[in-house]
Structure 1
Amino acid sequence: METKHVKKDGEHVWNAFKQMKSYMEKSYLLLDQATPENYFVTANRRQVYDGVSTLLNSNLGHKHPRIQQAILEQLQRLDTASMFVSTNTAALNYAKQLLKATEDRYYSIFYTNSGSEACDTAIKIARKYWKNRGENRPGIISLEGSYHGSSIGAMMVAYGGYAMDDYALKHDYFYQIPVPDPLLHPEFGDETALVQHCLNVAQTLMRDDQACVGALIIEQVQLSNAAFALPQEFVIGLEKLCRANGVLLIVDEVATGFGRTGSLFGSEQIGVWGDLMMFAKGVTSGYIPMGGVLSTKDVFMTFWADNPESALEHGFTTGGHPVACAAASACLELLQTEQICAIAAQTGAYLREQLQALKAFSFVREVRGKGLMLALILDETIKIPGMEQWGVANIVSRFLVNKGILLYPDSDSTIIIAPALNVGKSECDMICAALRDCLEKIALLTER
């Protein structure tokens, strides 16, 4: 029997990162089904195209028969198991498959259920690594504008993006360095000078004995910073600094991984791989929650000892869940055998080119990103009469829903465009046409 819901029932589900009163009044959207063509169907039977891959995790789209089959087969074979008491064949199968896909740069996987958990896991591994080596190096460096999750540990890594006092959190031994983003640092007219400035700040921190820096965490395309792709020379420079100062490098591939930026992992494009690599989101194409941290053998072996105190006191009841691992195996196989990453790179270039035409609007500042992780940056000073309390990106995204397109307003001025990797050029054209219509409406409203 199908349950009928009224709008007020939405208050019983507390949505992520929402001021619930405003959300219920202005943005409430109730999804009921999905189609293989990557449309959501709402409870009132409207179709809305998923232009953001749920939240950059449904990389292979909705209702893929091969992934669904893998999930069903694993449910019938081994439906659940816990890493607290055993290892399971699905988890071992996927570990070997993923390690091979990274050309054996890594040695072991610690399984989690999400990107936030992967961040906390990487922090604990990095800090315990140094403890096991007899050194006190708890300091963690991250980049300004970064976001690595919403758990307590992940919040402290990206403390610049959170009101820490609201949660009574201190961020001792967590540091941030500037990124060479000209939108954040217009005072630097020259990119080379800006890159060098950012590297100098990192070097100073790493050499500060009081900072006790043991690890640096980077996301090579910063989704939370309007899909800013870190310059190659900056990433290479950071890696060199890490090696020169004995600092662990943690690469966050939660959003960038599994084809999203046009290669299996973003690390491939610059050739910089971390000592630890975080993953989640697209690993199962969003069908089952899953994440993890890949570790090199050097890091793993510091926990390999007869001394029980060297163990990593950490884990999740459903980490390495056999059904999630089976889904992940199917996804990775599809990515590798159907050339999906290369296709995503080509389609992403086409979509970005079409989006560039929107810069004809005076309030469109920039189009950024890589592959099918793209962002449209709008002038945040634009105010719409009668809607002054809303950021322009939120207004545009709401207009888009009415046109049957779902995108994600990541801030008051940033709209994320990240359709599934199997998106066609016709869907790209549809997204751009809808955006153009909405921006024309914004232009007319601001002229009043």
Structure 2
Amino acid sequence: MKNLSERDKQYLWHPLTQHKLHPEMLGIVRAKGAVLYDEHGKEYIDGISSWYTSVYGHCNAFILDRVQEQMQKLDQIVFSGFTHEPAVDLSEALIRIIPENQKKLFFSDNGSTATEIGIKMALQFHFNKGEKRNVLLAFEDGFHGDTFGAMSVSGLSVYNGPFEDFFIDVKRIPVPTKDNIDQLLIDLEDILSENNIAGFIYEPLVQGAAAMKMYDAQSLDKILKRLRKDGVLTIADEVMTGFGKTGKLFASDHIPTKPDIMCFSKALTAGLIPMAITSCTQHIYEAFYSDEISKGLFHGHTYTANPLACAAALAGIELLQSNTIQESINKIIESHQAFDSQIKGHPKVAATRQLGIIYALDLNVKMERYGNLRDKLFQHFMNDGVFLRPLGNTIYILAPYIISEDQLQKIYNSIYASLEIV
């Protein structure tokens, strides 16, 4: 019988893949904790939590037990006209840990739709109030997903080129730093005076797809304060940063001015079942609360608030707040700091940065985002039994919270060794 990699070629089309250049897909047959197992019996440490989702480890027994228990009671039910206990329980648990100005939750299926809904909320909020605001504001190099609204506000044209003629009108500004914030605020005045800005979407403090670009919390706060004065709704895309990765429960917890809208997915359900949530303030919700049906938010997904996904999310939130996971997060932070002190002076390392468990280093060499040298690095890590996905000349770690010290050291050792091949 053919192996998985060979069978895959016949029918499957993979994301972010040019299949003519990369015809082989590695078959993964099992995962446990921080380790992936391929069809040939080789092990790989999952150094990026499988795209930032499986933060409590793969096949976590605590989460699996909760979901299995829920499967015996209610598997799926339409969420229009019905409700159920897992969704209500999850709403109560999530509201307790997100910024206190967030009062309403809207369920969907994935990170792109979480941001899509946030964008629609911002645009329709002003429409419902009779205001013509049809322009959005976003950061350069941001990434918010692959649906049309999310693509519109994303600044990475490598993904968006064929579709740009169909996008929402978006104005872009650079991420703020202590050096550029004064000029940026001046430029922002011009943008606000010349455009009807409805909302501003941003990845708080870390732009993931932009190679873990990190920026200043105090400077971001100044932007949020200025936009609030002009009635611009602020949308924090916490799809990647949420649920403990930045050293706080959410990246927005680092910033005094809280967003009007927040977007969650990925680690929300611990990497087990797809689900997303978009939260908002009571003020936003009230703009949709009307005797006019047309003022409602008519966006829906078949698996909205799936009971099994809600059960996984509830279990994940319980783990996140446990002493065990919080101690593990602190240990990873300390380990990254120690690793950084050793590697940042290497002649082939141009820069390093860290926020919480997110660690990134830039190689002192120019590389294409998707190119031969990047592929060579990826293969080096896989040969070492480490799953990392370099972004251009950036190598980053975003490992599960339950990773062991030995597993983390193996990642560090592989990164050290990779410096010899660039």
Note the alpha carbon deviations across 1:68-102, whole angstroms, 9 max, x for none: 01110111111101223422221111011101122
Structure 1 residues 6 and 287, CA gap change in structure 2 (3 angstroms): closer
1:43 equivalent to 2:39? Answer yes
In 2, the alpha carbon distance for the partners of 1:290 and 1:400 equals 30
SS of the residue corresponding to residue 251 of structure 1 reads strand
Of the three residues 338, 362, 365, the one matched with 2:350 is 365
Gaps of 5+ in 2: none
- Pairing of 1:420-435 with structure 2 (within 5 A): 420-435=400-415
8 Å CA contact retained: 1:356, 1:367: no
Of the three residues 26, 31, 34, the one matched with 1:29 is 26
* TM-score (normalised: structure 2): 0.94
1:183 is aligned to: none
Residue identity matched to 1:18: T
Note the alpha carbon deviations across 1:371-393, whole angstroms, 9 max, x for none: 1122221234269xxxx983533
Structure 1 residues 355 and 404, CA gap change in structure 2 (3 angstroms): farther
- Cα displacement (A) at 1:369: 3.1
Gaps of 5+ in 1: 181-190, 444-448
Residue identity matched to 1:297: Q
Structure 1 residues 420 and 389, CA gap change in structure 2 (3 angstroms): closer
- Pairing of 1:178-189 with structure 2 (within 5 A): 178-180=174-176
* TM-score (normalised: structure 1): 0.88
In 2, the alpha carbon distance for the partners of 1:131 and 1:406 equals 46
- Pairing of 1:8-407 with structure 2 (within 5 A): 8-11=6-9, 12-24=11-23, 28-36=25-33, 38-102=34-98, 104-162=100-158, 164-167=160-163, 169-180=165-176, 192-208=178-194, 211-220=195-204, 221-338=206-323, 340-341=325-326, 343-381=328-366, 390-407=371-388
- Cα displacement (A) at 1:197: 2.3
Structure 1 residues 150 and 103, CA gap change in structure 2 (3 angstroms): closer
8 Å CA contact retained: 1:34, 1:41: yes
Structure 1 residues 380 and 198, CA gap change in structure 2 (3 angstroms): farther
- Cα displacement (A) at 1:334: 1.1
- Cα displacement (A) at 1:162: 3.9
Structure 1 residues 432 and 50, CA gap change in structure 2 (3 angstroms): same
In 2, the alpha carbon distance for the partners of 1:332 and 1:300 equals 25
8 Å CA contact retained: 1:261, 1:345: no
In 2, the alpha carbon distance for the partners of 1:97 and 1:105 equals 15
- Cα displacement (A) at 1:271: 2.9
Residue identity matched to 2:8: G
SS of the residue corresponding to residue 68 of structure 2 reads helix
- Cα displacement (A) at 1:342: 5.3
Greater CA drift, 99-108 or 113-122: 99-108
Residue identity matched to 2:279: L
In 2, the alpha carbon distance for the partners of 1:217 and 1:168 equals 18
8 Å CA contact retained: 1:214, 1:248: yes
8 Å CA contact retained: 2:246, 2:358: yes
8 Å CA contact retained: 1:222, 1:229: yes
- Cα displacement (A) at 1:428: 2.0
SS of the residue corresponding to residue 273 of structure 2 reads coil
Greater CA drift, 415-424 or 307-316: 415-424
Aligned sequence identity (%): 27
- Cα displacement (A) at 1:405: 0.3
In 1, the alpha carbon distance for the partners of 2:406 and 2:315 equals 27
SS of the residue corresponding to residue 359 of structure 2 reads strand
In 1, the alpha carbon distance for the partners of 2:219 and 2:370 equals 37
Residue identity matched to 2:37: V
8 Å CA contact retained: 2:136, 2:198: yes
- Cα displacement (A) at 1:339: 5.2
- Cα displacement (A) at 1:20: 1.2
In 2, the alpha carbon distance for the partners of 1:33 and 1:141 equals 42
8 Å CA contact retained: 1:61, 1:421: yes
SS of the residue corresponding to residue 41 of structure 1 reads strand
8 Å CA contact retained: 1:59, 1:259: no
Note the alpha carbon deviations across 1:23-63, whole angstroms, 9 max, x for none: 225xx321110123x11000111111111101111111112
